Amino acid sequence: MADLWKTHGPSIVGLWKCISFEILDVNDNNQILGYPMGSDPLARVQVSPSGYLSAHLATPKTASASKDADTVPVAETVLTGYCGYLTMFKDAEGLGWKTKVDIGSDRHPVGGFEERRLRYWEEGGKDFMELSPAREFPLPDGKMGKGVLIWEKIE
């Protein structure tokens, strides 16, 4: 990791805001199957200078506090996330990182690993990165999907 971190680490250190979260068809990267967090995703990733990662995603849902027709809907948020030190790697598919989970929600078990594919670039004076979970997953209609998250550095 030392050499990869020395080369790529300074570009990913900082606080990142998710600006897009799409589910793509694994057989056709041009086919968007959905937006699991809607048009305005609420998520942050922070990477420290030593490679410690903290990732949080919030999915707002509307729920009613009562079955009464006159009840005003209340906002309910599902929060998921994890944190731990990341290790960078490079293989035939490109650059990636693997995080050993120190603390995580039930989707991210402590002691397990979260692996992401990574691409980063600068555009118009801003820094961006694309993260894609390494795992593909089945969708209700039987298609296989993969998540693609675009992040903008905000600090």
Task: For residue 99, give every residue at least 6 positions away whose Cβ sits within 8 Å of its Cβ, in sequence order, or none.
Answer: 53, 82, 83, 84, 85, 86, 87, 113, 114, 115, 116
Continuous segment of H or E residues that includes residue 96: strand 94-100
What tens digit of pLDDT does each residue of 139-150 get? 888 888 999 999
pTM of the model: 0.83
Helices (H), 23-105: none
CATH number of 4-60+79-116+125-153: 3.40.630, 2.40.128, 3.10.450, 2.30.30? 2.40.128
What is the block-wise mean pLDDT of the chain (155 residues), using blocks of 10 residues? Answer: 83 97 89 86 95 90 51 63 95 94 83 93 97 87 90 97
Per-residue pLDDT of 57-82, as tens digits, reads: 987 665 444 455 555 555 566 788 99
Q: Which residue has the tokens 């506090």?
A: 65
